[in-house]
Structure formats: structure tokens, C-alpha cells
Amino acid sequence: MDLRVKKTQKNIKEAFFRLRKKKEIGKISVKELSELALINKATFYLHYRDIYDLEDKLENELISEMIGELREREVMSERFEARMISQVLSRSITEHKSEIDVLYSSEGKNRFINKLEDSLKEFIFTRLPYFRDTVENNILLSFVVQGTYYAHLRNSAANPELLKDVTSRLFVKIFEQ
């Protein structure tokens, strides 16, 4: 990718996050964002249809990055490595907390975790197809992903290592059943 394109996208992303910290998504205009990103509106429209398209692409990029470490490790070989998946999920939630908080202020938090759960399930199901076929496995995965996320959200003042350890142990115990 051209260096100018990368710089433009970085400026757009940074401007969006600065504005999103202050305003609801519906109150951000392309004009305002473009001025803050030091680009013209036409440049914005070369990359995105509208502000909502930008938000959607940033959400997908964040979730892809969160699951990326699992893809790199190829964790789904012969054995389901539950502890590692939980640890990576916990670490990702901790590392990306500020982005999650901005993208998913109040009304969007449920949307984020549902998208993350769907993406994580799809990742697991492509490597362990038999997991997709049982309702029990789907329920367990939902419980673990949602539980891990809300444990971090509701206990954000806790030590991140403690959160990671507790959720990992629960994840493993659930899948040992």
C-alpha cells in the first residue's frame, strides 16, 4: 500500500477516535472529520461511503486484530487449546480496551461482543467443524466469550493478569466437561 494512503487512513482513524470520544456517531460529520484529519471530503469518500462505513471497517479491523494472534499460532491442531484461546482473548480485550470503549460506547457494547463471539466461533468452527454441530458447544463458547468480556468490563480495575488467569481457568474447566 502506498505510504500516502497509509498516512491518510491513519489520520482519518485518529480523527475519528478523537471525535468519537466526544460525540455520538450520528453527530460526526464527514466535513468535521476531514478537517481534523487534514484531508478534503473527496479523499474521505475515496476510502469510505460514510461515517458508518468507517466505523464498521474499524470494528472489523479491531476484531480481526484480536483474533489474529490465534490465526498466527494455528492453535487448532489435534487438540483444542482452550487455555491459550482464553488467554489471547483476555489479553486482546485488555490491550484494546480504549478502542473498544470509544467504538462501542454504551449502546454498542453488546454489538461488539456479539461480533467478536461470531468471529471467534467461525475461527474455531473452521478448524474444528464438529464443534459447530452441537448446541452444547455453541452455548459453551457463547458463555465463555461473553463471560470473559463482561468479566473484564465489570472488573476493569482488577489486575489484568488475575482476570486473564481466572477466565482461563474457567474456560478450561468448562471445556473439560
Q: What is the pLDDT of residues 4-16, one digit of tens each?
A: 889 999 999 999 9
- How far lies 104's CA from each of 53, 57, 131, in Å? 15, 13, 29
Q: Any idea what DSSP says for residue 75? A: -
CATH of domain 1-48: 1.10.10
Sorted by where each begins, the domain ranges of the chain are 1-48, 52-176
Q: Any idea what DSSP says for residue 96? A: T
Please, are residues 52 and 25 in contact by the beta-carbon 8 Å criterion?
yes
Q: Dihedral through CA 24, CA 30, CA 31, CA 36, nearest 10?
A: 70
* 2-28: average pLDDT: 91
Q: Cα–Cα distance between 9 and 48 in angstroms, integer?
A: 10
Q: Under 8 Å CB-to-CB from 105, ≥6 apart: which residues?
A: 20, 24
Is the alpha carbon torsion for 100, 21, 111, 156 positive or negative?
positive
pTM of structure:
0.78
- pLDDT, averaged across the chain: 84
Predicted confidence band of residue 81 (pLDDT cuts 50, 70, 90): low
Q: What is the pLDDT of residues 87-130, one digit of tens each?
A: 788 888 888 888 888 877 656 667 888 888 999 888 888 877 87
